[in-house]
């Protein structure tokens, strides 16, 4: 993990195995792109037929090259790859870029694994297979079979998809977006996103990173690198497979484990990544974030020459969580001069359709001069009175002043041919200007998210102190018993050990002790069958609620035993649990699971049937600090219920935070637990605590689905 | 309403009052645009200074013109307008287009109303004030001060915003989008969207209508016209003020009543309008819908040369509710030939990055030939092997074949300069092609929504038969009593008259009758205070639940009387209502209100606290038919609870539909009711009915907020 991959991204020598004399072959294109791109290192075409290609001497084998080669690009049919890899390993090659396809993406896992095994034996690392190559602006290295001309700049592209990656690189040229690095990750047999991010994180030329992901193999490795990188520069992520059907298509296409998109979405945002909704949005963010200073506060103003688009921008600000500044005395002071009497100095500030370049200049100087304003959204509608020749210098000057003052500004300009011409011109000057209101506001929103992630208290995560020995002893017993789940009383014991409150309860082995337990706990009580063979208690008739008296307890005891014997005559019944009937509060669900890609993930949501129907749950990767857990809780749509609605008191949110962190700690400290769920957990008023009513703990090799 | 506005849109003669010699003045621009645009009728510049402008003889007054003028464009300062209007009225002008601003938009309502009054007296209709004019391609009439060159075509633009309208017209030129009609509605002092839609609805040259709305004044007039029009051609709507703050900004900007955006959104969709999220989307829809044939079924296939964008498109299909076709035997049969072995004939069909123009041609012929496929999404990622010169003819041929077969196809093409060039070329040929996956899928989604709206059974709305005489008698009594709301028992009587079930209940005037009532209804019962002075019963301690015995009833009676007297010693207490304690079921809320813009609107959602917190409610304009009510219910996010989850039985959805329609019928049949809400109404299993637990009916001039 701690190699810095410098020799991969800035090799002094490159060999291309499969360099071809035939200009239609990929092996020829790679060599041509490398040579034409002006790569500054030494280039060795390798082809058994020898000769010369593009004026370069061709070597018949890697062994023939006299120096050690930093990077080998392998562009030969899959069936010849293994031998080539062996030769590279034998000759001290440092990095292998396997362009060839025909491996795990078509089910050929064996040979792919073999390539990696051989490579790693000699210390060689492998990029690919099934990639289109890589590019590095610093040394003018275009080692790809994609575009021949790539504009250098500040954006790094890391793509899992070859086809889309190549198309996106083409698009960067159209958008005049400069690139620092391109890496195609392909099948990720050895090097994956995490390794490459590790390099890009400290890469000075890279201002913004754009990742296209189809599936994550090792999320636990990715998350910390993603977080570390996002603290330095924006990481913009596009991931396909958002929908259930899309996820299935992605899984069959890449062979990666798709996992639940909601979990992916939560945990990468937790690590500061900015997930874009589509390609267009991702590109807009790249251009804007690689260019714009960061805001030092939340106060945004909208300056517009049209009331209509001012309102559209206001709508978009709500969508993208941008706070509009409202101190009318300040706004009036700074914008009065630029605003005619029939305009408005209320935010959105409407300098009206009569606004000339001078009015704009005055209005756009105000946010720069005003210490209370942190960022500006500027909107311009083409009008008959505004000479559009003024547009380019106006935008240019605004940007200059704002950048000097280190304040962000985003421009949306709507109009016809002359506006289009101005946008083209500004684009050439690398000044981002958008054709519609929404992309401009979306960019500002992304900038705020990036800045706020960095500014968040970098509180260390504290692991709650839990006596894992006691918990392990409970699990030992369950495993010795051949079970892959804990019985209700065992699960409750785990809660007690962890300091999570459960209702008073007792397991009665006979009627007398059930009655005694009920009398000692106090009515009303609840009774439940305890049996390793009966998981779904209510289906079996093994549950009785709200028992108000001794008589009702006796009746319920007999009914439960009868029902459960009828349900499964072979079931071993340990006893009947008599439990305190809990006073009502807000029913929530909290849980912790081991996600196949991301490892320990905690979850919370509104309890009961609503989890399933409303899907109103939030996820986070564990570990997390208390502030992040609070943020997670506020992500639940129904969270106002916790903060008190209709005069109800605020609930014990800190208790909920504590419970979430504890579940995460238990799960991540014990390899044998795969799943903990408390559903419901009753949350009482502030400081009044919570009660875990139903706790389910599953162990590895659970037979339950 | 039934004039056809032909003389407004196709006048034979136009006079411009305020036609100016000064090329910088709006009055000059309008004349120049009209003359340069090649208007085929007679043009009369009017200006007291006389002379000639742009070679046209200037008239010093309207009276000087010898013939009757169809349309007058008024472009003079507001203070001179009234006199001009009088002169127009006196000279038999048919339509007045008031370009001048300075009326209700700056608070000058009086003069605006006066203009309309004078106009209407002589039968003259008024467009504006505060507009930029209108355009009609049929007679080459550019009577605007916006763009001088407008491309004729099939899209009509109806805009409330002048500034944005002008900018949008500019954009149509960039996008090569042809226009049939432009109307700026401005302050809508007389003619409004409904009037203008009425004309466009039957206008042969108009294929698609784009409306930009900031606020609706008369929604009840708009909705039927919108519905009638949407049955003939797509009506695409952009409305600002989606967010709360945006709505406030829009209201202050236009003086229109903003209303609740959720209601606007529901009712215009109910009338078939397609609401776009932003300008870009609206433009894309215009181009695609004015061009594409309609699908005859729900079966869509995705054809792609890249797995990655195939997955992105699959995600987008879920977002835009497009159904992907899955009959593998059919897909295999039709796509096998075009798909290499390492591709996939599963939908999304991946013909792989190696696909050449011929492969595309084969793959894109399949949907045309296959009777089971109704529409196609075609994706192309730029590759090294595909010669992009083939792109334009490929797309052209695909469109030709699909249009011949009357099947829609949407194209997304991602790539660099050569792709950009192809898109530009196709754009020139009016063949819509998109640069990203999402807009293509969004367009197809809009097309499906339009088609399905038209294809929906055009079932007449039946008004449920309700004895309004009895209901009016109840209301008469409340009003005679000086109340602006019904007492609980009165509201229940309204329910009983309407055939909506309420719990058994009795109002007891004393303790004895309370006990008698409880004994006759059967325990458990609920008791509630009945008082015109106490609206919030539980705040006053006027409510007791789950009373199980005679003793508890006695105790509760005394407690309620004591609490309520303490709460408001002056309250007149009519009695205490003893009610059946209802068995539990799914608690919903249903209601009907009079929306200030749209009139009667019905509402339903998940009951209790969730209405407020989750905002999970759906709205419809009344009247509506049963199918539309069912669709409304399915719009609630929590609707699976009604259809049965976790083995629960389906609920009485038909009963719910019936209740919704009845509330709408009561509200719309009685001017004096402003608001009916049943919260909660308990919904039982299918055919088992519902019970309205708490019914609130408010009357006009309600003192309650």
**pLDDT digits over A617-641, tens only?**
999 999 999 999 999 999 998 899 8
The reply to whether B295-455 shares the fold of B3-206 is yes
Distance from CA of B265 to the nearest CA of A (A): 14
Which of A284-293, B252-261, B294-303 has the least mean pLDDT?
A: B252-261
Among chain A residues, the shortest Cα distance to B318 is held by A243
**Percent of chain B surpassing pLDDT 70:** 97
Beta carbons of A243 and B638 less than 8 Å apart: no
What's the whole-number mean pLDDT along residues B425-441?
93
Would you tell me how many other CB atoms lie within 10 Å of the CB of residue A40? Answer: 11
- Is A3-206 CATH 3.20.20.60? no
**Percent of chain A surpassing pLDDT 90:** 72
B44's enclosing H/E stretch is strand B42-46
Distance CA B326, CA B9 (A): 49
Task: Give B554: exposed, middle or buried? Use CB within 10 Å, 0-12, 13-18, 19+.
Answer: middle
User: Which sign does the torsion angle of CA A25, A27, A33, A36 carry?
Assistant: negative
Distance CA B305, CA B352 (A): 4
Using a CB–CB cutoff of 8 Å, tell me whether B382 touches chain A: yes
Distance from CA of B384 to the nearest CA of A (A): 6
pLDDT one-digit tens code per residue, B76-130: 999 999 999 999 999 999 999 999 999 998 889 999 999 999 999 999 999 989 9
Kindly list the residues from chain B whose CB atom is less than 8 angstroms away from the CB atom of residue A387.
none
Asked if B616 contacts B587 with a C-beta cutoff of 8 angstroms, the reply is no
Look at residue A247 in the predicted model and tell me its pLDDT. Answer: 80
What's the whole-number mean pLDDT along residues B374-381?
95
Residue A593 pLDDT > 90: yes
The beta-strand segments (E) located in B276-316 are 300-304
Distance CA A143, CA A135 (A): 6
Would you tell me how many other CB atoms lie within 10 Å of the CB of residue A23? Answer: 10
Which of A282-286, B288-292, B486-490 has the least mean pLDDT?
A: B486-490
At A306, the pLDDT band (50, 70, 90 cuts) reads confident
Residue A243 pLDDT > 90: no
Distance CA B235, CA B39 (A): 27
pLDDT one-digit tens code per residue, A180-193: 999 999 999 999 99
Beta carbons of A308 and B242 less than 8 Å apart: no
Averaged pLDDT of chain B? 91
Asked if B211 contacts B238 with a C-beta cutoff of 8 angstroms, the reply is yes
pLDDT one-digit tens code per residue, A136-150: 999 999 999 988 889
Distance CA A636, CA A660 (A): 14
Asked if B20 contacts B54 with a C-beta cutoff of 8 angstroms, the reply is no
Distance CA B379, CA B413 (A): 6
Among chain B residues, the shortest Cα distance to A318 is held by B243
At A409, the pLDDT band (50, 70, 90 cuts) reads very high
Beta carbons of B420 and A348 less than 8 Å apart: no
The beta-strand segments (E) located in B560-611 are 573-580, 586-595, 599-606
Strand partners, A573: A531
Kindly list the residues from chain B whose CB atom is less than 8 angstroms away from the CB atom of residue A243.
314-315, 317-319
**Hey, what are B165's tokens?**
């309208």
Q: Which residue shows structure tokens 């990188």?
A: A229
Distance CA B320, CA B445 (A): 5
- Is B295-455 CATH 3.40.50.10320? no
Using a CB–CB cutoff of 8 Å, tell me whether B524 touches chain A: no
Q: Which of A167, A414, A638 sits opposite B381 (nearest CB)?
A: A167
Among chain B residues, the shortest Cα distance to A255 is held by B307
**Domain range summary for chain A, segments of one domain joined by +:** 3-206, 295-455, 504-580, 586-704
Distance CA A443, CA A429 (A): 19
At A259, the pLDDT band (50, 70, 90 cuts) reads low
**Hey, what are A53's tokens?**
């290609």
Distance CA B420, CA B397 (A): 19
Task: Give A249: exposed, middle or buried? Use CB within 10 Å, 0-12, 13-18, 19+.
Answer: buried
Residue A705 pLDDT > 60: no
Distances A13 to A61, A69, B454 between C-alpha atoms, Å = 15, 5, 66
Look at residue B65 in the predicted model and tell me its pLDDT. Answer: 94
Kindly list the residues from chain B whose CB atom is less than 8 angstroms away from the CB atom of residue A241.
311, 315
Beta carbons of B253 and A310 less than 8 Å apart: yes
Would you tell me how many other CB atoms lie within 10 Å of the CB of residue A57? Answer: 11
Kindly list the residues from chain B whose CB atom is less than 8 angstroms away from the CB atom of residue A420.
174
Using a CB–CB cutoff of 8 Å, tell me whether B25 touches chain A: no
At A256, the pLDDT band (50, 70, 90 cuts) reads low
DSSP code, position B138: T
b/e burial code for range A299-337 (CB count within 10 A of at least 16 → b): bbbbbbbbbbbbbbbbbbbbbbebebbeeeebbeebbee
Residue A252 pLDDT > 80: no
Scan residues 232-291 of B and list those with Cβ closer than 8 Å to A: 238, 240-246, 249-250, 252-254, 277-280
Distance CA B127, CA B10 (A): 15
- Of B473, B23, B432, nearest to B208 by C-alpha is B432
Residue A462 pLDDT > 80: no
Task: Give B328: exposed, middle or buried? Use CB within 10 Å, 0-12, 13-18, 19+.
Answer: exposed
Which of A344-358, A602-616, B111-125 has the least mean pLDDT?
A: A602-616
Residue B1 pLDDT > 50: no
Cβ contacts of residue A117 below 8 Å, gap of 6+? none
- Is B504-580 CATH 3.10.20.80? no
Scan residues 197-216 of A and list those with Cβ closer than 8 Å to B: 212, 214
Radius of gyration of chain A (CA): 31
Asked if B493 contacts B474 with a C-beta cutoff of 8 angstroms, the reply is yes
Q: What are phi and psi of A636, to 5 degrees?
A: -70, 130
Look at residue A437 in the predicted model and tell me its pLDDT. Answer: 95
DSSP code, position A539: T
Distance CA A536, CA A538 (A): 6
Helix, strand or coil for residue B637? coil
Scan residues 92-131 of B and list those with Cβ closer than 8 Å to A: 106
- Of B272, B104, B274, B252, nearest to B190 by C-alpha is B104
Q: Which of B171, B312, B415 sits opposite A416 (nearest CB)?
A: B171
Residue A301 pLDDT > 90: yes
Residue A2 pLDDT > 80: no
Report the relative pairing of strands A586-595 and A505-508 from DSSP bridges: unpaired
Look at residue B306 in the predicted model and tell me its pLDDT. Answer: 87
Beta carbons of A163 and B609 less than 8 Å apart: no
Distance from CA of A46 to the nearest CA of B (A): 22
Scan residues 172-191 of A and list those with Cβ closer than 8 Å to B: 172-174
Averaged pLDDT of chain A? 91
Decide if the complex's ipTM is over 0.95: no
pLDDT one-digit tens code per residue, A661-695: 999 999 999 999 999 999 999 999 999 999 999 99
Q: How far apart are the first and last CA of chain B?
A: 36
pLDDT one-digit tens code per residue, A497-538: 999 999 888 889 999 999 999 998 889 999 999 998 888 788
Look at residue B702 in the predicted model and tell me its pLDDT. Answer: 46
Distance CA A429, CA A414 (A): 19
**Hey, what are B507's tokens?**
């109002």
Distance CA B645, CA B629 (A): 21
Distance CA A102, CA A131 (A): 11
Look at residue A161 in the predicted model and tell me its pLDDT. Answer: 87
**Hey, what are B144's tokens?**
């605007």
Asked if B263 contacts B219 with a C-beta cutoff of 8 angstroms, the reply is no
Asked if A408 contacts A293 with a C-beta cutoff of 8 angstroms, the reply is yes
Look at residue B252 in the predicted model and tell me its pLDDT. Answer: 65
| DSSP per-residue codes, B178-234 | -EEEEEE-TT-SS--HHHHHHHHHT-TT-SEEEEEES--S-HHHHHHHHHHHHTTS-
Q: What is the longest distance spanned by two Cα atoms in chain B?
A: 100
Distance CA B286, CA B53 (A): 38
Scan residues 316-335 of A and list those with Cβ closer than 8 Å to B: 316-319, 324
Q: In what order do the strands lie in the sheet with B505-508?
A: B505-508, B573-580, B525-531, B543-547
CATH superfamily name and code, B586-704: ATP-grasp fold, B domain (3.30.470.20)
Look at residue B2 in the predicted model and tell me its pLDDT. Answer: 43
pLDDT one-digit tens code per residue, B16-47: 999 999 998 999 999 999 999 999 899 999 99
Beta carbons of A419 and B308 less than 8 Å apart: no
Cβ contacts of residue A631 below 8 Å, gap of 6+? none
Helix ranges, A386-480 (H): 391-404, 417-428, 437-455, 468-480
């Amino acid at each position: 993990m701690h190699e810095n991959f410098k020799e991969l991204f800035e090799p002094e020598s490159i060999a291309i195995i499969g360099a071809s004399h035939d200009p239609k072959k990929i092996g020829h294109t790679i060599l041509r792109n490398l040579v034409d791109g002006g790569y500054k290192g030494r280039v060795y075409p390798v082809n058994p037929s020898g000769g010369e290609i593009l004026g370069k001497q061709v070597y018949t084998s890697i062994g023939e090259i006299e120096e050690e080669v930093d990077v080998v690009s392998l562009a030969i049919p899959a069936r010849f790859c293994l031998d080539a890899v062996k030769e590279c390993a034998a000759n001290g090659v440092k990095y292998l870029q396997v362009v060839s396809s025909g491996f795990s993406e078509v089910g050929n896992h064996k040979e792919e694994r073999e390539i990696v095994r051989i490579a790693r034996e000699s210390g060689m690392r492998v990029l690919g297979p099934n990639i289109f190559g890589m590019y590095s602006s610093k040394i003018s290295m275009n080692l790809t079979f994609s575009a021949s001309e790539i504009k250098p700049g500040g954006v790094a592209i890391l793509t899992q998809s070859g086809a889309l990656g190549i198309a996106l690189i083409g698009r960067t040229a159209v958008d005049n977006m400069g690139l620092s690095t391109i890496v195609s990750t392909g099948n990720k047999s050895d090097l994956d996103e995490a390794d490459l991010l590790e390099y890009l994180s400290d890469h000075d030329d890279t201002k913004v990173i754009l990742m296209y992901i189809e599936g994550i193999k090792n999320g636990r490795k990715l998350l910390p690198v993603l977080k570390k990188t996002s603290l330095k520069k924006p990481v913009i992520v596009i991931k396909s497979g958002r929908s259930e059907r899309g996820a299935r298509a992605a899984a069959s296409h890449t062979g990666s484990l798709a996992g639940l998109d909601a979990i992916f979405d939560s945990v990468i945002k937790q690590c500061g990544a900015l997930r874009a909704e589509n390609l267009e949005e991702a590109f807009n963010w790249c251009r804007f974030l690689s260019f714009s200073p960061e805001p030092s506060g939340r106060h945004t103003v909208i300056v517009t020459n049209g009331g209509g688009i001012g309102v559209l921008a206001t709508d978009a600000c709500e969508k993208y969580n941008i706070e509009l500044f409202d101190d009318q005395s300040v706004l009036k002071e700074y914008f009065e001069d630029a605003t005619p009497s029939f305009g408005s100095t209320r935010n959105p500030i409407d300098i009206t359709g009569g606004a000339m370049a001078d009015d704009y200049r005055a209005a756009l100087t105000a946010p720069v001069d005003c210490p209370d304003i942190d960022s500006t959204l500027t909107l311009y509608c083409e009008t008959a009175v505004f000479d559009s020749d003024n547009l380019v210098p106006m935008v240019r000057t605004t940007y200059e002043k704002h950048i000097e003052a280190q304040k962000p500004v985003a421009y949306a300009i709507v109009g016809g041919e002359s506006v289009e011409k101005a946008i083209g011109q500004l684009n050439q000057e690398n000044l981002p200007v958008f054709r519609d209101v929404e992309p401009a506001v979306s960019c500002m929103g992304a900038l705020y998210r990036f800045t706020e992630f960095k500014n968040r208290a970098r509180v260390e995560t504290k692991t709650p102190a839990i006596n894992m020995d006691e918990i392990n002893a409970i699990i030992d017993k369950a495993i010795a018993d051949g079970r892959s789940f804990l019985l209700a009383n065992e699960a409750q014991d785990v809660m007690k050990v962890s300091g999570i409150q459960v209702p008073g309860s007792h397991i009665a082995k006979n009627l007398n002790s059930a009655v005694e337990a009920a009398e000692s706990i106090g009515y009303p009580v609840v009774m439940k069958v305890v049996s390793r063979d009966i998981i779904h208690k209510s289906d079996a008739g093994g549950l009785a609620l709200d028992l108000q008296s001794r008589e009702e307890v006796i009746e319920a005891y007999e009914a439960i035993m009868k029902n459960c014997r009828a349900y499964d005559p072979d079931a071993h019944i340990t006893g009947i649990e008599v439990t305190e009937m809990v006073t009502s509060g807000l029913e929530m669900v909290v849980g912790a699971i081991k996600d196949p890609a991301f490892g320990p993930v905690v979850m919370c949501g509104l309890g009961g049937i609503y989890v399933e129907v409303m899907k109103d749950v939030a996820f986070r990767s564990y570990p997390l600090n208390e502030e992040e857990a609070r943020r997670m809780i506020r992500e639940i749509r129904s969270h106002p219920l916790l903060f008190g609605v209709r005069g109800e008191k605020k609930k014990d949110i800190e208790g909920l935070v504590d419970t979430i962190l504890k579940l995460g700690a238990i799960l991540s400290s014990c390899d044998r637990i795969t799943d903990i769920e408390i559903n419901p957990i009753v949350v009482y008023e502030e400081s009044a605590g919570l009660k875990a009513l139903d706790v389910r703990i599953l162990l590895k090799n659970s037979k339950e689905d």
